[in-house]
Structure 1
Amino acid sequence: MSEHVSSPPGSDAGLWGSVEELYGWLTANRAVDGPDEVLLRILKLSEEVGEVAQAVIGATGQNPRKGVTHTWDDVSAELCDVAVTALVALRTLTPDAPEVFARHLRRIRERSLGGG
């Protein structure tokens, strides 16, 4: 695992700098270690995806007992939580997360949009 370097409070660390800071904070405050730590960070994704579903149901008023309980801004925020949780889980698997993600995104772009 790489050494955690934090940015000053209120600074803009950028995407991967922020992921690294969150990874460091979670690692410093973890309740479990080893393989279970990785599994629990990946499992956290399911919780976050469930919160997206709850927000969509709430934004569309699909639960007649509750009515409209969320906004589309809530849905956006929950989707962001999913993305951040996934990136932190990826960082937990490998310190090369930015490169792994960039390579994978290139493959997706090429497959979906064609070469170039």
Structure 2
Amino acid sequence: MSDDTTPTPPAPELWDTVDVLYAWLDAQRPVEGREGLLLRVLKLSEEVGEVAEAVIGVTGQNPRKGVTHGWEDVQAELCDVVITALLALRTLTPEAREVFTRHLERVARRSLASARQ
């Protein structure tokens, strides 16, 4: 962030890459229309599940499997969640960059305002 109240928007390269990935996914979409959109959004659940699996693997919470992952795996899975969410947003609107930036600014303003109280 550039100061205590103004978030720095994600780098333009991020959105350029999101647009390229969106076009690639869209060209290979096996299911069109509303169902395809819903499936793209549901992909988030799969990715979040992979984060949970990695955390369980880091902490060895499955006694049958033991420690199966490292924190780098958790980081990678969290990145997959973010990428999937950005692609789902891009699928909903070609104005994903603007929608996300406006929302980030609102969240930052609200959060930082409550932190000062």
Task: Say whether the fold is shared (TM-score over 0.5).
Answer: yes
Match of 2:38 in 1: 39
Moved over 6 A (4+): none
Structure 2: how far apart are the matches of 1:114 and 1:99?
22
Normalising by structure 2, we get a TM-score of: 0.86
Quote the RMSD (CA, aligned, Å): 1.2
Normalising by structure 1, we get a TM-score of: 0.86
Q: CA deviation at 1:37?
A: 1.2
Q: Percent of pairs identical after alignment?
A: 68
- Greater helix share, 1 or 2? 2
Q: CA deviation at 1:14?
A: 1.5
Match of 2:3 in 1: none
The within-5 A match list for 1:4-19 is: 14-19=13-18
Structure 1: how far apart are the matches of 2:36 and 2:112?
36
Which structure is richer in relative contact order (CA contacts within 8 A, separation 6 or more)? 2
Match status 1:68 vs 2:62:
no
Match status 1:79 vs 2:78:
yes
Match of 2:4 in 1: none
Structure 2: how far apart are the matches of 1:113 and 1:105?
12
What one-letter code is carried by the residue in structure 1 that aligns with 2:20? E
Match status 1:25 vs 2:14:
no
Structure 2: how far apart are the matches of 1:32 and 1:112?
39
Structure 1, gaps ≥5 residues long: 1-12
Structure 2: how far apart are the matches of 1:110 and 1:37?
34
**Aligned to 1:27, what secondary structure does the other structure show?**
helix
Structure 2, gaps ≥5 residues long: 1-11
Match of 1:3 in 2: none
Structure 2: how far apart are the matches of 1:63 and 1:101?
37
What one-letter code is carried by the residue in structure 1 that aligns with 2:55? V
Match of 1:92 in 2: 91
Structure 2: how far apart are the matches of 1:68 and 1:14?
36
Match of 1:101 in 2: 100
